[in-house]
């Protein structure tokens, strides 16, 4: 499926929104994560709207809340905005407590449409891969980057993997499950 100028516009918008942001505890430009999530989603059959949502999936949560969501709706349409909103665990500042946000997010995945599950699973797979790579490089010091620490982060990703295995069975959920298992084994 060829991507149109809308996807290019979404990339540009994501670059503008996340220009000064880096991945937790690294110097890696945040756009690398957004590109990876879009790539994973496209490799698993994403439509253009889903790919655009993948590029913008953290925009509401990290770069402006509801106002950014409104911009996404105007520029890219309701379907994209709905996916982005559903992939956000909050649109308010300050953010609610970590564990409550994560429990609410997991619960909402039980009824989320396939488009949301695809983008969210792509995001979580890239995050889990990054955590695994960094754990191999930095050891247990890595866990200080995360609000949930070691135990909370492992709980969150195991619960996500189980949810996606049930709700979005197939190669993407299987890969997330394998990655989380490797993470758990290395963290043990």
Mapping DSSP onto H, E and C, the string for the chain reads: CCCCHHHHHHHHHHHHHCCCCECCCCCCECHHHHHHHHHHHHHCCCCHHHHHHHHHCCHHHHCCHHHHHHHHHHHHCHHHHHHHHHCCCCCCCCCCCHHHHHHHHHHHHCCCCHHHHHHHHHHHHHHHHHHHHHHHHHHHHHHHHCCCHHHHHHHHHHHHHHHHHHHCCCHHHHHHHHHHHHHHHHHC
Contact of 163 with 112, CB cutoff 8 Å: no
61 is an active site residue: yes
Q: Which two tokens stand for residue 173?
A: 């959920």
- In tens, the pLDDT along 151-182 reads 999 999 999 999 999 999 999 999 999 999 99
- In tens, the pLDDT along 55-84 reads 999 998 878 788 888 999 999 999 999 999
| 61-to-31, 68, 172 alpha-carbon distances in Å | 15, 9, 24
Catalytic residue among 50, 58, 61, 123: 61
Q: Calculate what percentage of the chain has a pLDDT beyond 70.
A: 100
62 is an active site residue: yes
Residue in this structure with the two tokens 């069975």, named with its chain if needed = 169
- In tens, the pLDDT along 8-21 reads 999 999 999 998 88
Domains and CATH numbers, the chain: 5-187 (1.10.3210.10)
Residue in this structure with the two tokens 């982060």, named with its chain if needed = 153
Q: Rounded to an integer, what distance in angstroms lies between the CA atom of residue 6 and that of residue 120?
A: 21
Residue 29: beta bridge partners? 22
User: Residue 113's CB: how many other CB atoms inside 10 A?
Assistant: 11
């Amino acid at each position: 499926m060829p991507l149109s100028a809308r996807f290019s516009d979404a990339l540009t918008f994501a670059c503008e929104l996340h220009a000064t942001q880096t991945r937790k505890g690294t110097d890696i430009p945040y756009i690398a994560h957004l590109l990876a999530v879009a790539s994973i989603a496209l490799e698993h059959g994403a439509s253009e709207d889903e790919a655009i949502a993948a590029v913008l999936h953290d925009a509401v949560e990290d770069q402006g809340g509801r106002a950014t969501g409104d911009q996404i709706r105007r520029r890219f349409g309701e379907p994209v905005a709905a996916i982005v909103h559903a992939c956000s665990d909050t649109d308010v500042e300050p953010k609610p407590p970590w564990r409550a946000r994560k429990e609410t997010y997991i619960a909402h995945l039980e009824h989320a449409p396939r488009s949301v599950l695809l983008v969210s699973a792509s995001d979580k797979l890239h995050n889990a891969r990054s955590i695994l790579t960094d754990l191999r490089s930095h050891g247990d010091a890595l866990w200080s980057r995360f609000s949930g620490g070691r135990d909370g982060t492992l709980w969150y990703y195991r619960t996500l993997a189980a949810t996606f295995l049930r709700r979005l069975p197939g190669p993407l959920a299987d890969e997330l499950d394998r990655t989380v298992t490797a993470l758990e084994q290395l963290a043990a």
